[in-house]
Amino acid sequence: MNARIIDGKQVAQKVRQEVAQSAAALRARGVVPGLAVVLVGEDPASQVYVRNKEKAAREAGVEPFDHHLPATTTQRELLDLVARLNADPTVDGILVQLPLPRGLDATAVIEAISPDKDVDGFHPQSVGRLWSGLPGFVPCTPLGVMRLLAEAGVQPDGLDAVVIGRSNIVGKPMAALLVAANATVTVYHSKTRDLPSIVRRADIVVAAIGRAEFVRGEWIKPGATVIDVGMNRIDGGGGGGGAKLVGDVEFAAAAERASAITPVPGGVGPMTIALLLSNTVRSAERRAARTAD
């Protein structure tokens, strides 16, 4: 293997320490950073994500407010809760865990969250501000990728970047951040023709599709930086049963050609929660500045 491994666990730990320091400073001024975590229904994966977010929040000095609602919750009840959280001065960030149970309209819920508390960065106002180059909340996973690039010493300025995937939570905001960082960005999706030739030109490859090892190692330009956002559970093989987590990139072959690469797990994954906490503390700092005025 030639590539340097970008250690997301280590960088996430560093971000969490920074958050803990900021949270401690805020608490010393009487401002306790608060994150409301809304979970509707009993989806097992969502329950794990929410538990992890709340645990990480507590460890960093951010107070989690747990709102677990039954799957029978109506749109009105959910919107009422969001309105209460918007008005609650102890809440700096509101996170509604997606996906919502069938019958609930996630777009309407996201639009109901105050942009001042939109720590996931999914509100259309946050999206518009990101593309306009204005300050605002940025979705946590792409923000984490930018931090990993910075920690790996990769300056996107003038580089060719390809983002594979165009979801609202990863691909599109990723492209916006790379454009803002002066990369020349190509966004690939399911209608794009000839992915290999696009990837072969790219100095930075960010894969966020959700297809196990879809990006072949032989496509990677020698010396490129490869960021693998994908998290795919596949059969672990070996007859032992159990699932194995793999990314969207054929890791071993890509690592032969890349200069730096993120592993799965232990790459982008740990960054998402760390940046969520970072966004929450930023929001609390704004509250502290407002109350000091």
Q: Which residues are catalytic?
A: 53, 97, 120
Instruction: Check binding of 272 to ligand NAP (CB under 6 A).
Output: yes
Instruction: Check binding of 163 to ligand NAP (CB under 6 A).
Output: no
The reply to whether omega before 196 is within 30° of 0 (cis) is: no
Instruction: Check binding of 75 to ligand NAP (CB under 6 A).
Output: no
Instruction: Check binding of 14 to ligand NAP (CB under 6 A).
Output: no
Out of 4, 210, 256, 282, point to the residue binding ligand NAP (CB under 6 A).
Answer: 210
The order of strands in the sheet holding 4-5 is 4-5, 260-261, 225-228, 204-207, 160-164, 184-188
What is the C-alpha separation between 211 and 201, in angstroms, rounded? 21
Nearer to ligand NAP, 45 or 71 (CB): 45
Instruction: Check binding of 208 to ligand NAP (CB under 6 A).
Output: yes
Which position has the token pair 């300025």?
157
Out of 30, 87, 157, 190, point to the residue binding ligand NAP (CB under 6 A).
Answer: 190
Q: How far is CA 220 from CA 5, 196, 206, 216, 255, in A?
A: 15, 8, 11, 7, 9
Instruction: Check binding of 68 to ligand NAP (CB under 6 A).
Output: no
Out of 25, 79, 231, 288, point to the residue binding ligand NAP (CB under 6 A).
Answer: 231
Q: Where do contacts with ligand NAP occur on this chain (CB under 6 A)?
A: 141, 165-167, 169-171, 189-191, 208-211, 229-232, 268-269, 272
